[in-house]
């Protein structure tokens, strides 16, 4: 992983690069921010940069022995610590094969995927006291091949209290040339005594344009990527969940099209059933669906202006809009948008989602013939 592989986070990267270049990298840093923004990607690029024997243009070279070792997860001086199952008796080493595969395949670090990879079932993975003991043991040894020894600790908020206390000792009396990189989704949950010893970098959610860039880089077609980005809240884990075959956007698109057809046909009985099935998706997902409706209504209205540059739709949505868009017009667009917003807010406010949706669909039905 190089800095060049990372979308966004330019100021964090510039600051980290500068600390390495000027030999001032502190012995403990914290990369904190919401999940799915690529904090671990930045940590890995930093590790590569720190070890690279032939840094070029402010980035690691990707070719020297150190870069190759880091890329293949066999740098003996780099250690990853992560939440796991199996109690104090089991060693983190047991999970290294799954870990290496996980960070390569899921570099935005979805926690649920990790729990699946280690077959956690209903057990909540944590970082055990023995993991801190293992850090103390290896940190006391001299490094194998390089000047630095690095510990990347993923989700330090999952440390057991005894683990935090043991680690705190290490942070209070650091070993020379030993660097701790804490990668945290919830820095506020760290022990304050640990938190205060870390040089902190608060990383922001990705912008919609950055999410779009990552998705298109993964082969998601542009209009769909843009649409997913508008709903993903800067979180690539959400974005990947929504994009692609069987993704949420396809599902929403087909529900929206069905909904509008039924509303236009004034089929109230079928709309009632549709309201029930949408409500069954759960509150959060229903709210995301309504956000999608809001966007599609806007797209339909704009479609009437016959300027393709203004629209951002997938092919199937555009096909539908050729026939549908005349029914969303200046006489009803504001009213429909307001109803969507109200339904969205009511659903999130714990109102009965089935009733809210049915009421909303009836209002859309009345508006469509205006």
Q: CA-CA distance, 180 to 26, in Å (whole number)?
A: 9
Residue 288 Cα to chain centre, angstroms: 16
Residue 74 CB burial class (10 angstroms; 0-12, 13-18, ≥19): exposed
d(CA 128, CA 15): 32
User: Least distance in Å: CB of 211 to Zn ion?
Assistant: 29
Q: Residues 93, 99, 101, 103: is their CA dihedral positive or negative?
A: negative
Based on CB atoms, which residue is closest to Zn ion, 61 or 281?
61
Least distance (Å) between residue 276 CB and Zn ion: 58
At closest approach, how far in Å is the CB of 51 from Zn ion?
A: 7
Q: How far apart are CA 44 and CA 345, in angstroms?
A: 40
Cβ contact 131:72 at 8 Å: no
Nearer to Zn ion, 43 or 260 (CB): 43
Residue 345, CA atoms < 13 Å, CB-side half-sphere: 6
Pick between residue 50 and residue 287 the one whose CB is nearest to Zn ion.
Answer: 50
When the beta carbons of 48 and 235 are compared against Zn ion, the nearer one is 48
In order of 161, 201, 227, 267, 303, the CA distances from 347 in angstroms are: 38, 35, 22, 23, 29
Radius of gyration of the chain (CA): 25
Question: Based on CB atoms, which residue is closest to Zn ion, 61 or 171?
Answer: 61
Closest CA to 133 of 155, 100, 164: 164
Biggest CA-to-CA distance, the chain = 77
Minimum gap (Å) between residue 14 Cβ and Zn ion: 19
By beta-carbon proximity to Zn ion, the closer residue of 72 and 331 is 72
Please answer whether residues 329 and 301 qualify as being in contact, where contact means their C-beta atoms are separated by less than 8 angstroms: yes
The nearer residue to Zn ion, 50 or 302, going by C-beta atoms, is 50
Taking the complex as a whole, how short is the minimal distance between the CB of residue 175 and Zn ion, in angstroms? 25
Shortest Å, Cβ 7 to Zn ion: 21
Binding site for Zn ion (CB under 5 A): 52, 54, 60-61, 64, 67
Tokens linked to 283: 């509150």
Based on CB atoms, which residue is closest to Zn ion, 60 or 297?
60
Q: State the nearest-atom distance from the C-beta of 75 to Zn ion, in Å.
A: 11
Angstrom CA distances, 23 to 18, 64, 272, 289, stand at 8, 20, 66, 50
**Closest Cα partner for 226 from 236, 216, 240?**
216
The SS3 assignment for 28 reads: strand
Shortest distance, CB of residue 45 to Zn ion, whole angstroms?
Answer: 12
Minimal distance, residue 222 CB to Zn ion, in Å: 34
Residue 43 beta carbon to Zn ion: minimum distance, rounded to whole angstroms: 17
In the bound state with Zn ion, the residue whose beta carbon lies nearer, of 67 and 260, is 67
d(CA 11, CA 19) in angstroms, rounded, equals 12
Residue 153: both structure tokens together: 């600790």
Backbone angles phi, psi at 153, to 5 degrees: -110, 110
Closest CB to Zn ion among 69 and 332?
A: 69
């Amino acid at each position: 992983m190089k800095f060049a592989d990372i979308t966004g986070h330019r100021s964090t990267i510039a600051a980290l690069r500068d600390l390495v270049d000027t030999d001032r990298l502190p012995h403990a840093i914290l990369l904190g921010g919401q999940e799915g923004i690529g904090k671990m990607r930045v940590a890995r690029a930093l590790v590569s940069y720190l070890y690279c024997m032939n840094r070029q243009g402010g980035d690691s070279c990707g070719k020297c022995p150190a870069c190759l070792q880091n890329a293949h997860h066999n740098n003996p001086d780099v250690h990853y610590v992560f939440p796991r199952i199996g109690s104090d008796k089991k060693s983190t080493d047991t999970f290294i094969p799954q870990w290496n595969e996980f960070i390569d395949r899921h570099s935005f670090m979805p926690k649920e995927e990790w729990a699946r990879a280690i077959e956690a079932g209903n057990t909540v993975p944590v970082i055990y006291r023995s993991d801190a003991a293992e850090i103390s043991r290896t940190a006391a040894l001299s490094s194998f091949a390089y000047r630095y020894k690095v510990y990347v600790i993923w989700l330090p908020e999952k440390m057991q209290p005894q683990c935090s206390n043991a680690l705190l000792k290490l942070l209070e009396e650091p070993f020379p040339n030993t660097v701790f990189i804490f990668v945290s989704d919830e820095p506020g949950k760290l022990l304050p005594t640990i938190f205060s010893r870390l040089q902190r970098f608060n990383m922001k959610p990705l912008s919609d344009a950055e999410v779009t860039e990552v998705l298109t880089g993964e082969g998601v077609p542009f209009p769909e990527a843009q649409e997913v980005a508008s709903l993903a809240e800067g979180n690539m884990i959400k974005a990947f969940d929504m994009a692609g075959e069987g993704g949420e956007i396809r599902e929403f698109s087909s529900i929206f099209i069905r909904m509008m057809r039924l509303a236009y046909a004034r089929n109230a009985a079928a709309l009632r059933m549709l309201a029930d099935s949408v409500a069954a998706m759960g509150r959060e997902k229903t709210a995301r669906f309504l956000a999608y409706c809001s966007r599609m209504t806007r797209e339909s209205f704009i479609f009437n202006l016959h300027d393709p540059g203004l629209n951002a739709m997938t092919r199937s949505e555009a096909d539908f809009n050729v026939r549908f868009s005349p029914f969303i017009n200046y006489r009803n667009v504001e009213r429909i948008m307001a109803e969507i917003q109200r339904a969205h807010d009511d659903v999130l406010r714990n109102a009965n989602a089935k009733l809210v949706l049915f009421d909303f669909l009836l209002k859309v039905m009345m508006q469509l013939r205006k």
